[in-house]
Homo-oligomer: A and B are copies of this chain.
Amino acid sequence: MRERYYIEEIGRHVDREVTLEGWLAGKRSSGKILFLQLRDGTGFIQCVASRADVGDETFAAADELSIESSLRVTGTVHADARAPSGYELSVAGIEIVHAADEYPISRKEHGTAFLMDNRHLWIRSSRQFAILRIRAAVIVAARRYFDSRGYTLVDTPILTPNAVEGTTTLFETKYFDESAYLTQSGQLYNEATAMALGKVYCFGPALRAEKSKTRRHLIEFWQIEPEIAYADLEDIMDIQEELVAELIRHVLETRAPELAILERDTEALAKAAPPFPRLSYTEAVKRLNEAGHAFEWGEDFGAEDETVLSKLFETPILVHRYPRMVKPFYMEDDPDDESVTLSVDMLAPEGYGEIVGGGQRAMDAERLERRMREEGMPVDEYQWYLDLRRFGSVPHGGFGMGIERFVTWVCGLPHIRETIAFPRMLSRLRP
């Protein structure tokens, strides 16, 4: 394969001549010297071209280029402490690959709707570039966490006859002669595969037809969901904590330039180191009330409650043992207090709220079936799920981490919509 040079790795080639292939992100000219901001998808670098070095014709052609024109720039790499990237290119030659039409996105303020309509172009700008690179780093690190600890990735179905968390928010499609629903979670299937493979995780899209327009919701989002056989609530909390700590560490170590582009307060992220406080739902309610926030035991935390609660801490917190009525049917009861479940959610600090939800799963077939009947679920459709408790039932548990919510927090964003390349929202199916 031919050797390629990328801005991200340009520091390896100081004082050597390289050719970079990219796009024009910005430019200014003094008449004799042209400063070209080049981006190649891995970073940004300033390229300095003098009329004397590149010749009148090339100089003039480059000087006229629209933003986002594509070009190959050949030059010598110099270390330059004043440059944002730490390096600069002294240009020997410029090859224009394609002179762009006038670019619709400029430095001036654009409305969100306009930018979202042009999302396919907007992702080229430095902030979006930074967010998408951080997102990718989070996912790579999350997969590595599980891959390196003996978990088996098992992809769970997108099309399913089952409704995991209520039917009102399900997308439905015709599946030949019957109806199918788009998945909202791989968890139930994960429980089956954990019994076959011990420790598993799935990682895929989840789809919720929620008519809510909030800063925290996407119609289409990605979730990593581990499930572990022979695990209890304590194990699940340990794994959540270790995972999130590793992700933060990985982002801080590998995505410093991107965090800088976003002007993210990395001190706040660095503080999010374990151990994370573990408090029961009941204790959390008490803390809320002590902070002067009205909240009654038995309710589910809303976005506002989570914001208040998570602002009381500098690290993520693990809130465990939620009441039965606010958690799904499959949560195991707490043997010490049957009004609560062996559930645990993680709330991110700085007001970001829930990023992880999980717990220990019900182990007894009869009790689980009774609960499903009480909730009016189609028990026939779930016989396979009950089978997991009939043939070698074991204590087990797991959790789901929503990638976009996590990235919203890590990037310090006010809204979740920029954490995925092509967000799907209530009024947004395009591009």
A interface residue numbers (CB < 8 A to B): 1-2, 4, 6, 8-9, 21-24, 40-42, 68-70, 97-98, 100-101, 103, 118-121, 123-124, 128-129, 132-133, 136, 139-140, 143, 147, 150, 152-161, 171-176, 178, 180, 182, 189, 192-200, 204-205, 207, 209, 211, 219-220, 222, 229-230, 235, 238-239, 242, 363, 384-385, 387-388, 390-395, 420-422, 424, 426-427, 429-431
Looking at the assembled complex, report how far the CB atom of A78 sits from the nearest CB atom of chain B, in whole angstroms: 22
Is the CB–CB distance between A68 and B392 below 8 Å?
Answer: yes
Is the CB–CB distance between A1 and B176 below 8 Å?
Answer: no
Is the CB–CB distance between A150 and B70 below 8 Å?
Answer: no
For A200, give the chain B residue with the smallest CB separation: B41
Is the CB–CB distance between B429 and A394 below 8 Å?
Answer: no
For A143, give the chain B residue with the smallest CB separation: B143
Is the CB–CB distance between B421 and A391 below 8 Å?
Answer: no
Smallest CB-CB A-B distances: 6 pairs: A41-B198, A70-B392, A384-B431, A120-B192, A21-B230, A123-B196
Question: 20 A-B Cβ contacts within 8 A?
Answer: A40-B198, A41-B199, A42-B198, A69-B392, A97-B393, A100-B391, A118-B384, A123-B196, A123-B197, A132-B154, A132-B193, A140-B147, A154-B421, A155-B421, A161-B429, A171-B173, A173-B173, A175-B219, A176-B426, A205-B205
Main secondary structure of the interface of A (DSSP, over half): mixed
Looking at the assembled complex, report how far the CB atom of A238 sits from the nearest CB atom of chain B, in whole angstroms: 4
Is the CB–CB distance between A196 and B392 below 8 Å?
Answer: no
- Can you add 12 more A-B contacts, CB < 8 Å, to A171-B175, A176-B211? A1-B238, A6-B198, A41-B194, A41-B229, A69-B391, A70-B393, A120-B388, A132-B193, A157-B220, A158-B158, A159-B207, A384-B430
Looking at the assembled complex, report how far the CB atom of A136 sits from the nearest CB atom of chain B, in whole angstroms: 4
Is the CB–CB distance between A205 and B155 below 8 Å?
Answer: yes
A229 partner residues in chain B, CB cutoff 8 A: 21, 41
Which of B21, B196, B204 sits near A205, CB closer than 8 Å?
B204
Are A133 and B152 also in contact (CB < 8 A) when A394-B70, A429-B178 are? Answer: yes
Is the CB–CB distance between B136 and A242 below 8 Å?
Answer: no
Whole-angstrom distance between the alpha carbons of A100 and B101 in the complex? 69
Which of B4, B154, B189, B235 sits near A136, CB closer than 8 Å?
B154
For A152, give the chain B residue with the smallest CB separation: B136
Whole-angstrom distance between the alpha carbons of A155 and B222 in the complex? 8
